[in-house]
Structure 1
């Protein structure tokens, strides 16, 4: 197939591109600058240069910033389009920009798909369009619910926009939860989500080592709250399965049916980092925290809502999709989670030493 991918230079976009290239597909990768793909083209993508066409453009512009001649040359040529480009900002100050990229950009992508007669669009959203609720569904959520941040709100609005095109295009909505490293290698090319938390813990350890007073470093989290982590290779396998097996209008939660508890993550981090002074406590008022503990928790403030609740994400649609594709559902045990966490912490340690 000939497949167009937006957001091709992102963590997920590069992994998806590599999977599709290995299957023999020809890819049209939309990036704002060719230079942003240099590392990929000189590394993992070097064996597939004949299958890659780089398109310089921007989803916030009409026709994605592509000139008329290029758009005309794509007519009837693209079999499917993965739209993964997004602005991942939780900052209220970025609300207008977030909606411009995540909603306006999605509308531009859908209109281009119509213009070039691309029959199928696979929209990569997020499981957290569920907002502040604790029970999810593989269906559209109401857009007037309460959201944690503008990113969630923008992705929910974009889902509704995508769904209005199902009479004109085959559309699929794919909702990954919190994406972490590869379950086989632990490799992760991101510093967001879990990795921001791990980086903060490393800073706590460095400060504890400088003090050398044996004082505990406390993190305040509910040990019984589960975090819905999904390895990137599982997400990619699901995106790949949707290319052939997802029907028009399908919505798929790419989530973990047995998500690890925060206590599990804590125990693994403490063991991997050899950090006996690390202590998990139930949340307290900030007045009872040390200055270092306050600094850590302030740095994690954008994630506080996710640390405080377990969300139930059904994934029956995804289970059927993967069964049709002959792909097993996710089974992420403690060993897999340890491999992923250690892959980041130990690699970071070797870089900084």
Structure 2
């Protein structure tokens, strides 16, 4: 049986990955869920939920207080020694994901955190795989096609989140010759492709929030005429693909774009959301600069907690090649679904749960 360690607990993706792994309980010895001391109540709550909804037993899911910004990572020295000696798979998901983070926060959590976790992985005596969660947007402001075996570039970044994740991935990339690592680069992760379920309505869900607020003015206009690719992926695809690539030999020492191989353009995505919300297509177009001016004038960042940095992702043209991912997943049945097939479920889930602020 395998021993696992997860950072990023009690985060959404960590919980979903553990749920997925629990479908094969005979392969699991112990899962060590690393969490900040201040997150103990949330970690306990998620543990109880996982024990109630999966086949995991109490002794198989162990909560461990940790802080990846510290060199030792795991606070208790005895527990640190046990995990270093036993662990076979390390999933490093913890990061500062906010697009508006200041550089010093991104540096401590994303860069130093990854440096410390990578050193921890190198000390693990029986490590089979170190799975690092990066992002497709380490590409920064690159344009054209970005390939999975590419990282290094000198273009600027849209925000400090991208910059520090790039520097963090560079740390892991330099160690691919010395540790059994797999690098995962997801696109913009949204809800479940069958149910629309998600933990919170952030990121691209801002578009739904804004449309909902402007419901009385529908049909609404398009924003800009550019049809930039928008790379949205459902979390179930990310979870299933990651779990497979983390264990399969084909995933060893490689980087994978868990992005939509056939992404829709921004105008098309906007149209699909609009039709799901209002049952009719948008009408007219306003230019990007007018939308950005209105974004600031109406204080949308303050009112809805949406970073203004998000707008850059709807006007920057880049295509993420997925050749390596598609080849690795061929024959597994793990396929990224077409956005147009499940977007109505995403919108329906939002409409049903928006009052709860999920």
Shorter-chain TM-score bucket reads 0.7 to 0.9
Q: Which moved more, 1:259-268 or 1:116-125?
A: 259-268
Where 2:73 maps in the other structure, the secondary structure is helix
Q: How does 1:1-150 map to 2 (within 5 A)?
A: 1-24=2-25, 25=28, 26-32=30-36, 33-46=39-52, 47=54, 48=56, 49-91=58-100, 94-117=102-125, 118-134=127-143, 135-150=145-160
Distance change (3 Å), C-alpha of 1:289 and 1:131: closer
Distance change (3 Å), C-alpha of 1:292 and 1:62: closer
Q: Does the Cα contact within 8 Å between 2:241 and 2:334 map onto a contact in 1?
A: no
Q: What is the distance in 1 between the residues matched to 2:6 and 2:222?
A: 40
**Does residue 334 in structure 1 map to residue 340 in structure 2?**
yes
The structure 1 residue matched to 2:166, chosen from 148, 153, 156, is: 156
Aligned-pair distance for 1:123? 0.4
Where 2:330 maps in the other structure, the secondary structure is helix
Aligned-pair distance for 1:225? 2.1
Give the match for residue 175 of structure 1. Answer: 185
Q: Which moved more, 1:46-55 or 1:224-233?
A: 46-55
Q: What is the distance in 2 between the residues matched to 1:105 and 1:114?
A: 14
Distance change (3 Å), C-alpha of 1:144 and 1:70: same
Q: Does the Cα contact within 8 Å between 2:95 and 2:109 map onto a contact in 1?
A: yes
Q: What is the distance in 1 between the residues matched to 2:282 and 2:50?
A: 38
Q: What is the distance in 2 between the residues matched to 1:146 and 1:59?
A: 27
Give the match for residue 229 of structure 1. Answer: 232
Where 1:257 maps in the other structure, the secondary structure is coil
Aligned-pair distance for 1:238? 1.0
Q: Does the Cα contact within 8 Å between 1:60 and 1:101 map onto a contact in 2?
A: yes
Q: Does the Cα contact within 8 Å between 1:99 and 1:154 map onto a contact in 2?
A: yes
Q: Does the Cα contact within 8 Å between 1:215 and 1:277 map onto a contact in 2?
A: no
The C-alpha deviation readout for 1:219-256, integer Å capped at 9, x for no partner, is: 52436222101110000111111122244420100010
Distance change (3 Å), C-alpha of 1:71 and 1:295: closer
Q: How does 1:158-307 map to 2 (within 5 A)?
A: 158-205=168-215, 208=216, 217-218=220-221, 220-222=223-225, 224-245=227-248, 246-274=250-278, 279=283, 281-283=285-287, 285-286=289-290, 294-296=298-300, 301-307=308-314
Q: What is the distance in 2 between the residues matched to 1:295 and 1:217?
A: 19
Q: Matched residue pairs, number?
A: 342
Instruction: Give me the TM-score of the superposition, normalised by structure 2.
Output: 0.86
Q: Does the Cα contact within 8 Å between 1:170 and 1:247 map onto a contact in 2?
A: no
Aligned-pair distance for 1:303? 1.2
Give the match for residue 211 of structure 1. Answer: none
Q: What is the distance in 2 between the residues matched to 1:341 and 1:69?
A: 47
Q: What is the distance in 2 between the residues matched to 1:304 and 1:194?
A: 10
Aligned-pair distance for 1:290? 6.5
Q: Does the Cα contact within 8 Å between 1:121 and 1:169 map onto a contact in 2?
A: yes
Gaps of 5+ in 2: none
Q: Which moved more, 1:136-145 or 1:183-192?
A: 136-145
Q: What is the distance in 1 between the residues matched to 2:105 and 2:3?
A: 31
Instruction: Give me the TM-score of the superposition, normalised by structure 1.
Output: 0.87
Aligned-pair distance for 1:9? 1.6
Aligned-pair distance for 1:336? 1.1
Distance change (3 Å), C-alpha of 1:296 and 1:280: farther
The C-alpha deviation readout for 1:265-323, integer Å capped at 9, x for no partner, is: 32333233337696461415439977998545995621121111332111111112212
State the Cα RMSD in Å.
Answer: 2.7
Where 1:121 maps in the other structure, the secondary structure is strand
Q: Does the Cα contact within 8 Å between 2:221 and 2:286 map onto a contact in 1?
A: no
The C-alpha deviation readout for 1:174-214, integer Å capped at 9, x for no partner, is: 10000011101110113222112222222223xx4xxxxx6
Gaps of 5+ in 1: 209-213
